[in-house]
Structure 1
Amino acid sequence: MLLGDLGADVIRIDRPGTRAARARDYALARNRRSIEIDLKTDRGIETLMSLVEQADVIFEGFRPGVAERLGFGPDACFARRPSIVYGRMTGWGQTGPMSNMAGHDLNYLSLTGALTLFQRDGSQPATPPGFVADLGGGGLMLALGLVSAVVSSRATGTGQVVDAAMVDGVASLTTLVHSMSAQGRWDLDRPGQNFCDGGAPYYDSYVTSDDKYIAVAPIEPQFYAVMVELLGLTLSGACPIETTRPTGTS
C-alpha cells in the first residue's frame, strides 16, 4: 500500500479464487493490480519468474523456507535478474527457535516488552489494534528497506535481500524509551508512572462535560506555562518536565 501510494506499480500475486474478494473488500489493497497464480505448479512459478525478470522488487511473507521450497527464493530470483531487490517479511525472523511459529501483533509487542508501554498503574495492558508491530515494525520497516535497496541496486546493478521481522521492528521502535531509561528519565519498572505514559497531568486525556475526551500534551515548559495561564492556575516552580532531566542532558 505504501509503495503504491508513493507511485510504484505494484502487482500482487493472489491464490486462485481469492483475488476478486480481496480487491473489493480489502482497503489495504489499494493502488495495486493483482493476478491469480498457483505457485504450487511449474507453470505458475514460471509465470512469476517472467514478472521477476521485469521487476525492481519482489517481496513475500511466507514462513522461512517456503519460498525456496516453491522455487522462487532469493537465489532463484537473482539468477533470473541479478539487480532485483528481494524482500522478506516474517514475525520472528528467518532463524531461531520461534522462526516457524505463528504470531500476531500482540505477541510481538509482548515479547519485546513494548506491550508494557500500554500499561498504566500496574493494571492490565491495553490491547492496541495491529498498528505498532504489523504496520509500523513490519510493513513500514520493510518498505523503508526496499526503497533503500532499490537506490543501491540502481547505483551498483546488484540486488540484495531485505529481511524484515516484526519483532525486530518493534524493538527498534522502543529505542526512544530505552534511551530515556538510560538517561534516568524513564522507569521501565513503573509503567504508567512516567511523564508521557500517563504518569503526568500535563500529558494525559480527560473526560469532558459531554462524556467525551480531550487530549492534553504541553510537555515543553513554554507550552505548559500557557496551559497554566489559560486555566487560571498558579505556576509554582519550574515545569515538572524539567525535573525529569538529569544534569547535563538535553
Structure 2
Amino acid sequence: MPGPLSQLKVLDFSTLLPGPYATMLLADMGADVLRVEAPDRLDLTRVMPPLEDGVSTAHTFLNRGKRSLSLDLKKEGSADVIKRLVKEHDVVIEQFRPGVMDRLGIGYDTLKAINPDLIYCAITGYGQTGPYKDRAGHDINYLSLAGVSSHCGRKESGPPPMGIQIADVAGGSHHAVMGVLAAVIHRQQTGEGQYIDISMTDAAFALNGMAGAAALAGGQEQKQESSMLNGGTFYDYYQTSDDRWISVGSLEPQFSGRLCDALDIPEMKSFALSQNPEHQQTIREALKAAFAQKTLKQWEEVFAGLDACVEPVLTITEAADHPQMKARDMVIEVAKGDGGFQKQIGHPIKFSATPCETHYAGRRLGADNGDL
C-alpha cells in the first residue's frame, strides 16, 4: 500500500534542518516532495561531515525520498518555472527570512493567484511578525528567548548546550508538519488553501508545558534544579563505576520501592516519597554512592527484569542496536545512488494500513532537472 500522504505533492524551498526534516517526514509518509536548491549556494548539510562515499550523511538522511531541482531563483525565468510547477503542487514549504519569496516573485499572494487551493508554510526563527522577524538566530537562541533554557541544566554550570536541535525539530519541523496536515484536512472540508506561519521560537515557548502553565497562572517560575523533573529530586542521572551514566525515573511509590531494594538502601524509601528538599538531597547522595559501586553493564543486569523506571544512558549506536529499537524498525536500510545501502533512523509513526516506506537516500543536486 502507498503511504498515507501519497496524493500530496510538496514543493520544498527549505535548507539546513527544520524544513528538510519536516519534508522528510512528509516524504516518508508518501508525499511527493520536490526540493528546490540553488546551484551556487549549496545547503551546508550537503557538505557537512561525516561523509560516506563522499556524500554527507546528514544530507542523505534529511533528504531521503525527495527529488532534487537545481534552480537559481534569482535568475530571469526561474520564477516562471516555479509558477508552472505550483499549478500541480498542493503544498509549498519555505524557510527564507520574511519577504524573500516576495522579492523573488514567488511569494504566497503570487502563487495563490495561480493555485487558489495552495497550502503555503513558512518556517522562520521568530515568525512573520514582531520586532524580531528579521533577526538571525539558531536553536540555542530560540530556546533562550522562549524561556526553555532558564530552567534546564545545573545551578553551578548553567543551561546545557544540547546534542539535538530542540527548537529546530520539536519546534519547527514537527509543528510545520502538524500545521500542513491540519490545513490539508481544512482544504478537504472547505476547498480553501491557506498560509501557515511557523516560528521556531513560538514552538519552543509552547514546549514549556507544565512549567509554563505554572509560571503564567501563578507566577511560580521554575528554576534550575528546583522541580520534580529538572534536578530538584532524585529523578536524575547517576554515574557508574566505569564512568557511564544511568537514568532514574522511579517517581511512583512502587517504582521507588523497587529501586531502593535493588540498591540495598531500603531505608531511603520514605525519603523518595518526601517533598522535603533535604530528604531529596539525602536520597540523591545515597543513589550517587550506590550506583558508583558497579559498572553500567552490571546495573543493566540488575534492572533487566525489574520494572523500576531505571535505564542506561546509551550512545546512538548502542541505542540503534537495542532490542526495543530493532523491534520497532527504528533503523532501516535506504538505497543509495551507487546501488548500495545506508543505515538510517526509521520513521517513528507506525501505520497499520499505509506503512511508511523510503525508496532512496538524498539525491545529488539537480538529479531530477531533466524530468521537470
TM-score higher than 0.5:
yes
With the shorter chain as reference, the TM-score category is: 0.7 to 0.9
Any unmatched runs of 5+ in structure 1?
244-250
Aligned CA RMSD, in angstroms, stands at: 2.4
Q: Number of residue pairs matched?
A: 240
Q: Deviation per CA, 1:107-157, whole angstroms, max 9, x where unpaired? A: 111111111132212532111135211111111111110111011112221
Mapped to 2, the partners of 1:209 and 1:175 lie a distance apart of: 35
Mapped to 1, the partners of 2:259 and 2:244 lie a distance apart of: 20
Judged with a 3 Å threshold, the aligned counterparts in structure 2 of structure 1 residues 187 and 221 are, in CA distance, closer, same or farther, namely farther
Partner of 1:247: none
Matched, 1:80 2:114: yes
Matched, 1:191 2:191: no
- Match for residue 67 of structure 1 among 68, 89, 101: 101
Q: Deviation per CA, 1:187-243, whole angstroms, max 9, x where unpaired? A: 535311211111211x11111111111111112222222212322313227723699
- Match for residue 70 of structure 2 among 18, 25, 36: 36
Matched, 1:230 2:262: yes
User: 1:120 is paired with a residue of what secondary structure?
Assistant: coil
Mapped to 1, the partners of 2:119 and 2:36 lie a distance apart of: 17
User: 1:200 is paired with a residue of what secondary structure?
Assistant: coil
Mapped to 2, the partners of 1:224 and 1:238 lie a distance apart of: 7
Residue identity matched to 1:207: Q
Matched, 1:127 2:150: no
* Alpha-carbon contact 2:151-2:222 (below 8 Å) kept: no
List structure 1 runs of 4+ shifted beyond 3 angstroms. Answer: 180-184, 240-243
Any unmatched runs of 5+ in structure 2?
1-23, 48-54, 278-372
Partner of 1:142: 176
TM-score by length of 2: 0.60
The alpha carbon displacement at 1:183 in A equals 7.7
Comparing 124-133 and 59-68, the one that deviates more = 124-133
* Alpha-carbon contact 1:22-1:29 (below 8 Å) kept: no
Judged with a 3 Å threshold, the aligned counterparts in structure 2 of structure 1 residues 237 and 198 are, in CA distance, closer, same or farther, namely closer
Partner of 1:246: none
Mapped to 2, the partners of 1:153 and 1:53 lie a distance apart of: 16
Work out which structure has the larger RCO, using CA pairs closer than 8 Å and 6 or more positions apart in sequence. Answer: 2
* Alpha-carbon contact 1:187-1:194 (below 8 Å) kept: no
Identity over aligned pairs, percent:
38
User: 1:236 is paired with a residue of what secondary structure?
Assistant: helix
Mapped to 1, the partners of 2:124 and 2:75 lie a distance apart of: 24
* Alpha-carbon contact 2:119-2:180 (below 8 Å) kept: yes
The 5-angstrom pairing of residues 1-250 of structure 1 reads 1-17=24-40, 18=42, 22=46, 24-25=55-56, 26=59, 27-181=61-215, 188=221, 190-201=223-234, 203-232=235-264, 233-234=266-267, 235-236=269-270, 239-240=273-274
